[in-house]
Structure 1
Amino acid sequence: MRKTTFLLLMLFALPALAHSNKDGKCTTSDIAGVYGFKGDGFIVAEGMGYPVGPLATVGTMVFNKDGTWRVKQNVSANGTLHRNVVYAGTYTLNADCTFWLFDPTVSDSAIDFGVFIANGKEFLLLPNVEGFAVTFEGKRISKAR
Protein backbone atom coordinates (compact mmCIF):
# COMPACT_ATOMS: atom_id res chain seq x y z
CA MET A 1 0.00 0.00 0.00
CA ARG A 2 2.77 2.47 0.89
CA LYS A 3 4.56 1.76 -2.39
CA THR A 4 1.35 2.32 -4.40
CA THR A 5 0.62 5.58 -2.58
CA PHE A 6 4.16 6.81 -3.23
CA LEU A 7 3.98 5.90 -6.92
CA LEU A 8 0.64 7.65 -7.32
CA LEU A 9 1.94 10.72 -5.53
CA MET A 10 4.99 10.84 -7.82
CA LEU A 11 2.85 10.29 -10.91
CA PHE A 12 0.63 13.28 -10.15
CA ALA A 13 2.97 15.56 -8.19
CA LEU A 14 6.06 15.47 -10.40
CA PRO A 15 4.46 17.15 -13.43
CA ALA A 16 3.05 19.87 -11.18
CA LEU A 17 6.47 20.50 -9.62
CA ALA A 18 8.20 20.48 -12.97
CA HIS A 19 6.57 23.58 -14.46
CA SER A 20 8.99 26.43 -14.33
CA ASN A 21 7.20 29.62 -15.29
CA LYS A 22 3.73 31.08 -15.24
CA ASP A 23 2.72 29.84 -18.69
CA GLY A 24 3.67 26.28 -17.67
CA LYS A 25 6.48 25.79 -20.18
CA CYS A 26 10.18 25.30 -19.48
CA THR A 27 12.69 27.23 -21.53
CA THR A 28 16.47 27.10 -21.67
CA SER A 29 16.52 30.53 -19.99
CA ASP A 30 14.57 29.08 -17.04
CA ILE A 31 17.03 26.27 -16.35
CA ALA A 32 20.36 27.69 -17.51
CA GLY A 33 22.97 27.80 -14.76
CA VAL A 34 25.38 25.80 -12.63
CA TYR A 35 24.09 22.88 -10.55
CA GLY A 36 25.79 20.86 -7.85
CA PHE A 37 24.82 17.19 -8.04
CA LYS A 38 25.31 13.78 -6.53
CA GLY A 39 24.65 10.38 -7.98
CA ASP A 40 24.62 6.91 -6.52
CA GLY A 41 23.67 3.40 -7.46
CA PHE A 42 25.26 0.41 -9.13
CA ILE A 43 26.89 -0.50 -12.38
CA VAL A 44 25.49 -3.91 -13.24
CA ALA A 45 27.34 -4.38 -16.54
CA GLU A 46 30.70 -2.90 -17.52
CA GLY A 47 30.37 0.30 -19.47
CA MET A 48 32.05 3.64 -20.10
CA GLY A 49 35.23 2.38 -18.44
CA TYR A 50 33.75 1.67 -15.02
CA PRO A 51 33.75 -1.77 -13.33
CA VAL A 52 30.68 -3.60 -12.08
CA GLY A 53 29.82 -2.57 -8.52
CA PRO A 54 28.65 0.42 -6.49
CA LEU A 55 29.01 3.90 -7.94
CA ALA A 56 28.91 7.31 -6.26
CA THR A 57 29.64 10.67 -7.81
CA VAL A 58 29.66 14.36 -6.88
CA GLY A 59 30.27 17.28 -9.17
CA THR A 60 28.95 20.29 -11.03
CA MET A 61 26.81 20.43 -14.14
CA VAL A 62 26.37 23.50 -16.32
CA PHE A 63 23.32 23.94 -18.56
CA ASN A 64 23.85 26.74 -21.08
CA LYS A 65 21.10 28.69 -22.83
CA ASP A 66 22.44 27.54 -26.21
CA GLY A 67 21.48 23.90 -25.49
CA THR A 68 24.91 22.68 -24.42
CA TRP A 69 25.92 21.10 -21.11
CA ARG A 70 29.13 20.15 -19.29
CA VAL A 71 29.82 17.96 -16.25
CA LYS A 72 32.92 17.86 -14.08
CA GLN A 73 32.83 15.26 -11.33
CA ASN A 74 34.70 12.87 -9.10
CA VAL A 75 33.47 9.28 -9.36
CA SER A 76 33.96 6.36 -7.01
CA ALA A 77 33.37 3.19 -9.01
CA ASN A 78 33.55 0.01 -6.97
CA GLY A 79 35.89 1.85 -4.59
CA THR A 80 38.26 3.20 -7.24
CA LEU A 81 38.37 6.99 -7.41
CA HIS A 82 38.27 8.73 -10.81
CA ARG A 83 39.03 12.46 -10.39
CA ASN A 84 37.96 15.35 -12.60
CA VAL A 85 35.89 13.26 -15.01
CA VAL A 86 34.45 15.54 -17.69
CA TYR A 87 31.57 14.94 -20.09
CA ALA A 88 29.94 17.47 -22.40
CA GLY A 89 27.35 17.59 -25.12
CA THR A 90 23.97 18.98 -26.05
CA TYR A 91 20.52 18.70 -24.50
CA THR A 92 16.94 18.90 -25.66
CA LEU A 93 14.47 20.49 -23.25
CA ASN A 94 10.75 19.81 -23.55
CA ALA A 95 8.01 22.24 -22.53
CA ASP A 96 7.06 19.89 -19.64
CA CYS A 97 10.60 20.32 -18.18
CA THR A 98 11.80 16.84 -19.16
CA PHE A 99 15.10 16.70 -20.99
CA TRP A 100 17.52 14.41 -22.80
CA LEU A 101 21.33 14.67 -22.70
CA PHE A 102 23.46 13.77 -25.71
CA ASP A 103 27.22 13.14 -25.83
CA PRO A 104 28.44 11.99 -29.25
CA THR A 105 31.66 10.58 -27.74
CA VAL A 106 29.56 8.08 -25.75
CA SER A 107 26.59 7.21 -27.96
CA ASP A 108 24.64 8.22 -31.06
CA SER A 109 21.47 8.33 -28.93
CA ALA A 110 20.55 10.10 -25.70
CA ILE A 111 22.71 9.07 -22.73
CA ASP A 112 20.47 10.43 -19.94
CA PHE A 113 16.85 11.37 -19.27
CA GLY A 114 15.87 13.92 -16.64
CA VAL A 115 13.31 16.37 -15.34
CA PHE A 116 13.69 19.84 -13.86
CA ILE A 117 11.64 20.43 -10.71
CA ALA A 118 11.21 23.21 -8.14
CA ASN A 119 10.88 25.92 -10.82
CA GLY A 120 14.10 24.83 -12.52
CA LYS A 121 16.15 24.96 -9.33
CA GLU A 122 16.64 21.18 -9.15
CA PHE A 123 16.83 18.21 -11.48
CA LEU A 124 16.49 14.45 -11.31
CA LEU A 125 18.40 12.32 -13.82
CA LEU A 126 18.56 8.69 -14.88
CA PRO A 127 21.13 7.25 -17.30
CA ASN A 128 19.80 5.96 -20.60
CA VAL A 129 22.83 3.66 -20.93
CA GLU A 130 22.59 -0.10 -20.43
CA GLY A 131 24.22 -1.41 -17.27
CA PHE A 132 23.79 1.74 -15.15
CA ALA A 133 21.32 1.59 -12.24
CA VAL A 134 22.21 5.05 -10.96
CA THR A 135 20.15 8.13 -10.08
CA PHE A 136 21.33 11.72 -9.91
CA GLU A 137 19.95 14.74 -8.04
CA GLY A 138 21.10 18.29 -8.70
CA LYS A 139 20.44 21.70 -7.14
CA ARG A 140 21.16 25.02 -8.78
CA ILE A 141 24.16 26.90 -7.37
CA SER A 142 23.84 29.91 -9.65
CA LYS A 143 21.56 30.99 -12.47
CA ALA A 144 23.00 31.94 -15.86
CA ARG A 145 23.36 35.67 -16.38
Structure 2
Amino acid sequence: MTFRQTFGILFAGMLMLGIAKQMHAGEAEQRHCSNAALQGDYSFTTTGTLNGVPLATVGKSTFDGKGSFQSTETLSDNGVISENLPGTGTYTVNADCTGTSMISTGRASNFVIVDNGNEIQAINAAPGTVLITVLKRLFTNRWPDFAR
Protein backbone atom coordinates (compact mmCIF):
# COMPACT_ATOMS: atom_id res chain seq x y z
CA MET A 1 0.00 0.00 0.00
CA THR A 2 1.40 3.37 -0.94
CA PHE A 3 1.70 6.36 1.34
CA ARG A 4 -1.02 8.11 -0.65
CA GLN A 5 -3.45 5.16 -0.19
CA THR A 6 -2.66 4.89 3.53
CA PHE A 7 -3.12 8.63 4.01
CA GLY A 8 -6.42 8.54 2.09
CA ILE A 9 -7.77 5.70 4.24
CA LEU A 10 -6.66 7.43 7.48
CA PHE A 11 -8.15 10.74 6.36
CA ALA A 12 -11.47 9.10 5.42
CA GLY A 13 -11.58 7.31 8.78
CA MET A 14 -10.88 10.49 10.73
CA LEU A 15 -13.49 12.34 8.71
CA MET A 16 -16.12 9.67 9.46
CA LEU A 17 -15.29 9.74 13.18
CA GLY A 18 -15.60 13.53 13.20
CA ILE A 19 -18.98 13.42 11.46
CA ALA A 20 -20.26 10.71 13.81
CA LYS A 21 -19.13 12.73 16.83
CA GLN A 22 -20.88 15.87 15.54
CA MET A 23 -24.08 13.92 14.88
CA HIS A 24 -24.02 12.51 18.40
CA ALA A 25 -23.35 15.96 19.88
CA GLY A 26 -26.27 17.37 17.88
CA GLU A 27 -28.56 14.71 19.30
CA ALA A 28 -27.47 15.57 22.83
CA GLU A 29 -28.24 19.25 22.24
CA GLN A 30 -31.83 18.66 21.16
CA ARG A 31 -34.22 20.16 23.67
CA HIS A 32 -37.39 18.59 24.91
CA CYS A 33 -39.77 21.16 26.32
CA SER A 34 -42.66 20.80 28.76
CA ASN A 35 -44.92 23.15 30.70
CA ALA A 36 -41.99 23.68 33.08
CA ALA A 37 -40.17 25.58 30.29
CA LEU A 38 -42.46 28.54 30.99
CA GLN A 39 -41.93 29.70 34.53
CA GLY A 40 -41.54 33.19 35.91
CA ASP A 41 -42.25 36.71 34.68
CA TYR A 42 -42.41 37.82 31.05
CA SER A 43 -43.18 41.21 29.52
CA PHE A 44 -45.26 41.18 26.37
CA THR A 45 -46.50 43.29 23.49
CA THR A 46 -49.34 42.44 21.13
CA THR A 47 -50.15 44.23 17.89
CA GLY A 48 -52.61 43.62 15.09
CA THR A 49 -56.33 43.70 14.42
CA LEU A 50 -59.29 42.10 16.13
CA ASN A 51 -62.40 41.97 13.93
CA GLY A 52 -60.79 44.58 11.67
CA VAL A 53 -60.13 47.02 14.52
CA PRO A 54 -56.53 48.00 15.43
CA LEU A 55 -55.42 46.63 18.78
CA ALA A 56 -52.20 46.84 20.80
CA THR A 57 -51.26 45.78 24.32
CA VAL A 58 -48.31 45.87 26.66
CA GLY A 59 -48.18 43.92 29.88
CA LYS A 60 -46.68 41.32 32.16
CA SER A 61 -47.47 37.61 32.49
CA THR A 62 -46.38 35.24 35.23
CA PHE A 63 -46.18 31.55 34.29
CA ASP A 64 -46.29 28.90 37.02
CA GLY A 65 -44.47 26.12 35.13
CA LYS A 66 -47.51 23.86 35.52
CA GLY A 67 -49.81 25.15 32.77
CA SER A 68 -51.37 28.32 34.22
CA PHE A 69 -50.55 32.01 34.00
CA GLN A 70 -51.76 35.40 35.21
CA SER A 71 -51.41 38.68 33.32
CA THR A 72 -51.91 42.40 33.69
CA GLU A 73 -52.02 44.60 30.60
CA THR A 74 -52.72 48.02 29.17
CA LEU A 75 -54.86 47.83 26.03
CA SER A 76 -55.38 50.22 23.12
CA ASP A 77 -58.53 49.12 21.28
CA ASN A 78 -58.97 51.39 18.25
CA GLY A 79 -57.28 54.16 20.26
CA VAL A 80 -59.37 53.72 23.42
CA ILE A 81 -57.00 53.00 26.32
CA SER A 82 -57.82 50.59 29.18
CA GLU A 83 -55.25 50.11 31.95
CA ASN A 84 -54.44 47.41 34.50
CA LEU A 85 -56.63 44.75 32.92
CA PRO A 86 -56.18 41.44 34.75
CA GLY A 87 -56.31 38.09 33.00
CA THR A 88 -55.71 34.42 33.59
CA GLY A 89 -55.17 31.50 31.30
CA THR A 90 -53.78 28.07 30.66
CA TYR A 91 -51.07 26.75 28.37
CA THR A 92 -49.67 23.49 27.08
CA VAL A 93 -46.08 23.12 25.87
CA ASN A 94 -45.20 20.31 23.45
CA ALA A 95 -41.88 18.44 23.44
CA ASP A 96 -40.77 20.41 20.35
CA CYS A 97 -41.17 23.72 22.26
CA THR A 98 -44.35 24.73 20.43
CA GLY A 99 -47.59 25.11 22.31
CA THR A 100 -51.06 26.53 22.73
CA SER A 101 -52.58 28.92 25.23
CA MET A 102 -56.11 29.94 26.12
CA ILE A 103 -56.91 33.14 28.00
CA SER A 104 -59.98 33.59 30.18
CA THR A 105 -61.77 35.57 27.44
CA GLY A 106 -61.68 32.47 25.25
CA ARG A 107 -58.96 33.58 22.80
CA ALA A 108 -56.55 30.81 21.80
CA SER A 109 -52.99 31.30 20.58
CA ASN A 110 -50.28 29.11 19.11
CA PHE A 111 -46.71 29.81 20.19
CA VAL A 112 -43.09 28.73 20.00
CA ILE A 113 -40.49 29.08 22.76
CA VAL A 114 -37.14 30.42 21.51
CA ASP A 115 -33.76 31.55 22.87
CA ASN A 116 -33.62 28.96 25.67
CA GLY A 117 -36.99 30.09 27.03
CA ASN A 118 -36.11 33.78 27.10
CA GLU A 119 -38.66 34.61 24.39
CA ILE A 120 -42.05 33.36 23.23
CA GLN A 121 -43.51 34.22 19.82
CA ALA A 122 -47.27 33.77 19.44
CA ILE A 123 -50.12 34.29 17.00
CA ASN A 124 -53.83 34.38 17.78
CA ALA A 125 -55.59 31.30 16.43
CA ALA A 126 -59.02 32.84 15.68
CA PRO A 127 -60.13 33.20 12.03
CA GLY A 128 -60.22 36.82 10.84
CA THR A 129 -57.89 37.93 13.63
CA VAL A 130 -54.32 39.09 13.15
CA LEU A 131 -52.68 39.45 16.55
CA ILE A 132 -48.96 38.83 17.05
CA THR A 133 -47.55 38.65 20.58
CA VAL A 134 -43.91 38.61 21.66
CA LEU A 135 -43.07 37.80 25.28
CA LYS A 136 -39.61 38.29 26.79
CA ARG A 137 -38.38 36.93 30.10
CA LEU A 138 -37.82 39.66 32.69
CA PHE A 139 -34.46 39.95 34.46
CA THR A 140 -32.85 36.73 33.26
CA ASN A 141 -29.55 37.12 35.13
CA ARG A 142 -30.33 38.86 38.38
CA TRP A 143 -32.52 41.54 39.84
CA PRO A 144 -31.38 44.87 38.37
CA ASP A 145 -29.59 47.43 40.55
CA PHE A 146 -32.20 50.10 39.83
CA ALA A 147 -34.93 47.97 41.43
CA ARG A 148 -33.32 47.71 44.86
Query: Larger RCO: Structure 1 or Structure 2 (Cα < 8 Å, ≥ 6 residues apart)?
Result: 1
Amino acid at match of 1:102: M
1:23, distance to aligned residue in structure 2 (A): 4.7
Q: 1:38 aligns with which of 36, 45, 49?
A: 45
**C-alpha distance after superposition, 1:3-42 (max 9, x if no partner):** xxxxxxxxxxxxxxxxxx9451013333211100111111
* 2:90 is the counterpart of 1:90: yes
Q: 1:127 aligns with which of 106, 116, 124?
A: 124
* 2:35 is the counterpart of 1:28: yes
Amino acid at match of 1:123: I
- Higher share in helix: 2
**C-alpha distance after superposition, 1:76-108 (max 9, x if no partner):** 0100011122221211110111111124x433x
CA distance in 2, matches of 1:118, 1:87: 26
Q: How many residues end up aligned between the 2 structures?
A: 113
Q: Are the aligned partners of 1:39 and 1:137 in contact in 2 as well (CA < 8 Å)? A: yes
1:119, distance to aligned residue in structure 2 (A): 0.4
After superposition, the CA RMSD in angstroms is 2.0
* 2:97 is the counterpart of 1:114: no
Q: Are the aligned partners of 2:42 and 2:136 in contact in 1 as well (CA < 8 Å)? A: yes
Q: Are the aligned partners of 1:113 and 1:125 in contact in 2 as well (CA < 8 Å)? A: yes
Amino acid at match of 2:37: D
TM-score by length of structure 1 reads: 0.69
CA distance in 1, matches of 2:85, 2:123: 18
Q: Are the aligned partners of 1:31 and 1:121 in contact in 2 as well (CA < 8 Å)? A: no
1:73, distance to aligned residue in structure 2 (A): 0.5
Q: Which runs of 5+ in 1 are unaligned?
A: 1-20, 46-51
- Same amino acid, percent of matched pairs: 29
TM-score by length of structure 2 reads: 0.68
Amino acid at match of 1:126: I
1:59, distance to aligned residue in structure 2 (A): 0.2
CA distance in 2, matches of 1:92, 1:22: 22
Amino acid at match of 2:117: G
* 2:72 is the counterpart of 1:72: yes
Q: Which runs of 5+ in 2 are unaligned?
A: 1-27, 141-148
Alignment of 1:55-66 (within 5 A): 55-66=55-66
